[in-house]
Amino acid sequence: MGIEKLTNKEEKQDKIVHMFNDIASTYDKANRVLSMGIDIQWRKKGCDKAFEILASKELGQVTDVATGTGDLLVYWKEQAEQNGVTINNYVGIDPSVGMLEVARSKVDFAEFIEGKAQDLPVDDESTDVISISYGIRNVVDRVEALQEFHRALKPGGLVVILEFTKQERSGMLDKMVDFGMKNILPRVGGFISKNYEAYKYLPESIEEFLTTEMLAQELEVTGFKMKYTKSFSMGISTLLIAQKV
């Protein structure tokens, strides 16, 4: 049974976690090939913009949720050094044990904890930044997760979201992007990971997800103020940064 056909929230969430366990060892390679490396620039842009908004040279903690293999934490550290920012603690949280095993093997400066976005294993008002890259659409109880982000962030703290948001596509270039996402991406990702189902799920999950405007509205309803929104590569990826108020 496909993930999109499951109606029970817990069952659907467990199936998504199992899927990521299965592709953990090839996840980084597939990401680099599928994005041709451009996702690195998207991630760095999110880090740099967050530092600009916070305008602080020392942060207590950055918490990366749905951290996967810890990719974004690597860029948080690199960009912090480039921006002259000191970050005292790096924490990565993910429900996939397989992903965390890979993360621990490549990132030696962060603490990695098994946990869900909607039930974060961190104290109230304990972190300056919560980031989640290409993971929020995989959280079944998304509103609960946003409430958890608000709880865990310090006053004035930021949530930084990178995601493939749903777009209205009508032009020729838009149709080419759609064709690539629905036909080429599953084949290439499936070939690299040996799991076609996982990469077939990606474009389907985007179609079922929110628009950028709807996600921004959910953030504002949850107690955040939108600070920055930017679309990359013909709307394939979107960066949203919101501040706890």
Residues belonging to the binding site for S-adenosyl-L-methionine are 69, 94, 133
Q: How many other CB atoms are found less than 10 A from the CB of residue 67?
A: 28
Alpha helices in 83-158, H assignment, sequence order:
97-106, 142-152
CA distance 143 to 20: 22
Measured distance between the N- and C-terminal CA atoms of the chain, rounded to whole angstroms: 42
Annotated binding site: 69, 94, 133
Q: What is the distance of C-alpha 192 from the center of its chain?
A: 21
242 beta partners: 159, 226
Residue pair 189/28 in contact (Cβ under 8 Å)? The answer is: no
